[in-house]
Amino acid sequence: MVAKIKEYTGEVSKEMKKVSWPTRQQLRESTIVVLATCGIITTFVWVIDFVMTAFVKMLF
């Protein structure tokens, strides 16, 4: 059991060295894109909700 755990952690360590980690600038740019996209989608859903609520109130 202990041997399997050591083997597993060794393999994980080897694979983690192969990972291409983003630079600080790339991470910042990706974060801005994600936040902007979330903001746009949130605004779109809010507008649709507002319009549909007004439409339903108008019907009743």
- Asked, for residue 9, whether it belongs to a domain, the answer is no
Q: Kindly state whether residue 33 falls inside one of the protein's structural domains.
A: yes
- Per DSSP, the residues of 31-50 read HHHHHHHHHHHHHHHHHHHH
Number of domains in the chain: 1
Q: Which amino acid type is present at position 5?
A: I
Give dist(CA 60, CA 49) in Å, integer.
Answer: 17
Predicted TM-score (pTM) of this structure: 0.66
Domain span at 41 = 24-60
Q: Is residue 11 part of a domain?
A: no
**Is 51 a member of any domain?**
yes
Is 13 inside any structural domain? no
pLDDT (tens place) for every residue of the chain, 60 residues total: 899 999 999 999 999 999 999 999 999 999 999 999 999 999 999 999 999 999 999 998
Question: Is residue 36 a part of any domain in this protein?
Answer: yes
Is residue 53, in this structure, part of any structural domain at all? yes
CB 22 within 8 A of CB 30: yes
